[in-house]
Amino acid sequence: MPKPDPDALAEAAPPAEHRAIQVVAGKERVVDAEQAVRRGLTLVDLSDGWAPYIFQDGKAADGALLPNRYRAVFIGLANDRSDGDGQALPPGERNYLELYGIPPSLSVVRERFLADAARTCEASVDNARLLAVDGIETFGHSTEKKEAAKHQLRGLRLEAARAKAGVATIADLAAADSRYLGEAKTHLRVEAERAAFAEVEKRLVCEGLMDAAKHKPGAYDAPMRSAVLDFQQKNGVFAQADLNRATLEAVGRPLLANDFATLRRVLAERAAHAGNFVEDGTAILAMPFGKRGKPRAIPTYRTADGTAVPVPDLVGQATDALMARLGLASPEDALAFFRRHAESDFRWLRVAVRFPDLPEYYGPKMDLVAEIDRGDIWYDFPFDSKGNRLPQPRTRYPTFNLYVRWRGEKVPLVSWRTTIGGWRSELAADGEEYYRYKDSDVGKRVWHHIVSAPVWLPPLSSPLQSMVKTKWVAGGYPRVVNYDETGPGFLSAYGLVAGIHEQAKRRGEEVAYYDNGIRTHGSFDYMSLRGRFSHGCHRLHNNLAVRLFSFVLKHRHAKVLGPMALGFRRVFYWDGEVYEMRLPTRGFYYELDPALPVDTLKGNIAGQLQQPMTSYVRKPGVTYASSKPPSAPTGPESKAGGGRADPSAEGRAP
């Protein structure tokens, strides 16, 4: 006999604004949301109007509404209704923005389930051929033609040798005569990759991501490349149109299995924000390895009686609890869920669920501290005189760690890969490009200001062509001002949210804050977190940055400053046309009081130089008009962040 469900609530018929759902004994019921809260349950918002906490409207001290205008853009993007400029999507277009920090709404996931349930892609794809290779090498248009010709000639040579040797296959030829071993191995690999490529083509057409009429079979052309990227971003595969093993494995999975994995990731974000927690199981990465290669110690915290208890994976546990309460154990369960809920249900849908108990260190005002380990650092110039890149290996990569100080210990909550500065190309005052080391400040700083939907100001040295883009408008593609990089938006230089690194200095009874141009911020460039460098800032995946700063704002005293007026205007001329760029705000500001400590560690300095070079360095092989590089600028404006953190002198946006 099944055990009674202690959290089951009685069926009810409250108005939509007071409804929630539960699955009890395999059947879904509507319950009273207010009763659920009184019972100690958490309400998880499944509606299409959901947005993370950092995009909520605020209130000024006098009660005046402080609208966060990016909320509407976020919701439009998540629901496939609009683009990053807030304009309606062209017919048939979809936003695959999960890897950019904007997960699809439940209505969008519902549409995928219903459409994919009617497809029979699994029957049309030969998984044995697809997964017979570890990846598929791809080329640009001209190189692809040359490689195809080389493969054809190689095949003709090997076939002639096979016939002469009187063996059945090219593999037999290689086994019989070692002279052909290398060529045969290459030929067979390419043949296997071509066979796998054909299976990828079939899957993309079947899934509705590629129009077969616009694609040349066997070619990695623009329609195919675009479809592969859409597939990867739709299914959360970290690749950018490369046909790597992870992509092939995702192609080989049933459509509903991929949709079910997407649903879990979407629900994980909703759970993390509903529970106001951040722990996701990565805290162990903040712990040092044991002696002689032993595994890392398990991170723990001490309870009131002194017991050491492991730091939990609250996001994972809450997601499990949420899916269990919804009765979602399989793709078939999810399909049934979406079939019984009309799209209109997602205007109000919430679920009442009991989340795991919070650790004792939780409270409305947690003693949080951030630490950035810069890992292995190379200040040496990375090229020789001929322009060849010099090896600068790193075994320890930069990480962002968040801790809570609790009972005399520093308890790790999360540990995520981040970026630091390095050698970057920069346009100097003489109009020439040089290399320059963009350093990440070392030492103790604070987050005094957090900015939702932040705006980056392009310096005068920004190439004008980067400030213009083409955009589908009224049946055509005119050129318009490119606000993607400036923001606000998921493609901006600062991503969806930024914490400003400020140096706090006491002046008598007051504390003054100085911005040196460094931020911890989200990033659209999700591949850069795997080892590339920034211009000095510390990037995080957009969804993690949104989680992090929403968590900080929920567990620290924060004053809502709202949208900060900027009034930036620039008129520029490019390629025969005049453009006007307007940036009315810097973003939506919060002020932490007290500020949250951030310590950037020195890291392990490798190579000969122990301090970064501050001057420009000529690019090898480039002829310069000037006899020597100009002086490199200094100060916050020359850093990745630029500008001033303190918005108080700039007023509030209307």
The mean of the pLDDT values for the chain is 92
**CA distances to 335, 363, 384 from 231, in Å:** 20, 41, 40
Sequence-ordered alpha helix ranges (H) in 243-293 = 245-252, 255-275
Tell me what pLDDT residue 430 has: 85
Q: Phi-psi category of 595—alpha, beta or left, where left has phi over 0 and alpha has psi -120 to 50?
A: beta
Whether residue 590 contacts residue 559, with contact meaning beta carbons closer than 8 Å, is answered with: yes
Q: Residue 531's CB: how many other CB atoms inside 10 A?
A: 11
Q: Quick one: tokens of 157? A: 């040579």
CA 500 to CA 600: how far, in whole Å? 13
Element (H, E) at 68: none
Tally: H helices and E strands in the chain:
14, 23
Q: Quick one: tokens of 80? A: 């496939």
In terms of pLDDT, which residue wins out, 30 or 516? 30
CA 444 to CA 464: how far, in whole Å? 37
Q: Quick one: tokens of 30? A: 């509507």
What are residue 302's DSSP bridge partners? 308
pLDDT band at 639 (very low <50, low <70, confident <90, very high): low
pLDDT tens, position by position, 174-187: 999 999 999 999 99
CA 339 to CA 336: how far, in whole Å? 5
Q: Quick one: tokens of 134? A: 């570890």
pLDDT band at 1 (very low <50, low <70, confident <90, very high): low
**CA distances to 5, 207, 242, 319, 329 from 122, in Å:** 38, 10, 22, 28, 21
Return the C-alpha torsion angle 493, 494, 496, 499, nearest 10: 180
pLDDT band at 596 (very low <50, low <70, confident <90, very high): very high
pLDDT tens, position by position, 277-288: 999 999 999 998
Residue 652 has pLDDT above 80, yes or no: no
Residue 653 has pLDDT above 50, yes or no: no
Using DSSP, state whether 24 is helix, strand or coil.
strand
State phi, psi for 421 to the nearest 5 degrees. -75, 170
Burial 169-193 (b: 16+ CB within 10 A, else e): ebeebbeeeeebeebbeebeebeeb
Question: Does the CA dihedral 211-490-54-499 come out positive or negative?
Answer: positive
Which residues of 345-472 form beta strands (DSSP E)?
Answer: 350-353, 368-373, 376-378, 399-406, 409-417, 423-427, 433-437, 443-452, 468-470
DSSP 421: B
Residue 651 has pLDDT above 60, yes or no: no
Provide the pairing of β-strand 468-470 with 479-481.
antiparallel
pLDDT band at 649 (very low <50, low <70, confident <90, very high): very low
Q: Residue 90's CB: how many other CB atoms inside 10 A?
A: 10
Residue 266 has pLDDT above 90, yes or no: yes
Q: Phi-psi category of 59—alpha, beta or left, where left has phi over 0 and alpha has psi -120 to 50?
A: beta
pLDDT band at 636 (very low <50, low <70, confident <90, very high): low
pLDDT band at 327 (very low <50, low <70, confident <90, very high): very high
Residue 364 has pLDDT above 90, yes or no: no
CA 323 to CA 127: how far, in whole Å? 30
Residue 238: which of 581, 439, 526, 639 has the closest Cα? 526
Tell me what pLDDT residue 637 has: 59
Residue 403 has pLDDT above 80, yes or no: yes
Residue 448: alpha-carbon gap to chain centroid? 24
- What one-character-per-residue DSSP string does 455-495 give? --PPPTTS-GGGGEEE--BTTB--EEE--TTTSSSTTSTTT
pLDDT tens, position by position, 531-561: 888 989 999 999 999 999 999 999 999 999 9
Whether residue 530 contacts residue 417, with contact meaning beta carbons closer than 8 Å, is answered with: yes
Cβ-in-10-Å burial (0-12, 13-18, 19+) of 9 comes to buried
pLDDT-above-90 percentage for the chain = 77
Please count the residues of the chain. 654
Tell me what pLDDT residue 654 has: 27
- Going from the N-terminus, what domains does the chain have, and what CATH number goes with each? 39-116+257-353 (no CATH), 121-252 (no CATH), 368-457+484-650 (2.40.440.10)
CA 338 to CA 256: how far, in whole Å? 12
Whether residue 92 contacts residue 115, with contact meaning beta carbons closer than 8 Å, is answered with: no
Residue 462 has pLDDT above 80, yes or no: no
Q: What is the mean pLDDT of residues 297-309?
A: 94
Residue 650 has pLDDT above 50, yes or no: no
Tell me what pLDDT residue 638 has: 57
Supply the pTM of this predicted model. 0.92
Q: What is the mean pLDDT of residues 78-88?
A: 91
Q: What do you get for the CA distance between the two ends of the chain, in Å?
A: 62
Angle at 356 between CA 352 and CA 358, to 5 degrees: 115
CA 74 to CA 95: how far, in whole Å? 11
Tell me what pLDDT residue 640 has: 55
pLDDT tens, position by position, 556-591: 999 999 999 998 999 988 888 999 999 999 999 999
pLDDT band at 85 (very low <50, low <70, confident <90, very high): confident
> What residue has token string 């479809």?
227
DSSP 647: G
Q: Quick one: tokens of 132? A: 């017979």
Tell me what pLDDT residue 594 has: 94
Which CB contacts under 8 angstroms, 24+ apart, belong to 156-162? 157/183, 158/183, 158/184, 158/187
Q: What is the mean pLDDT of residues 50-69?
A: 93
CA 491 to CA 499: how far, in whole Å? 17
Residue 61 has pLDDT above 90, yes or no: no
Whether residue 264 contacts residue 106, with contact meaning beta carbons closer than 8 Å, is answered with: no
Which residues of 492-552 form beta strands (DSSP E)?
Answer: 497-507, 510-523, 538-541
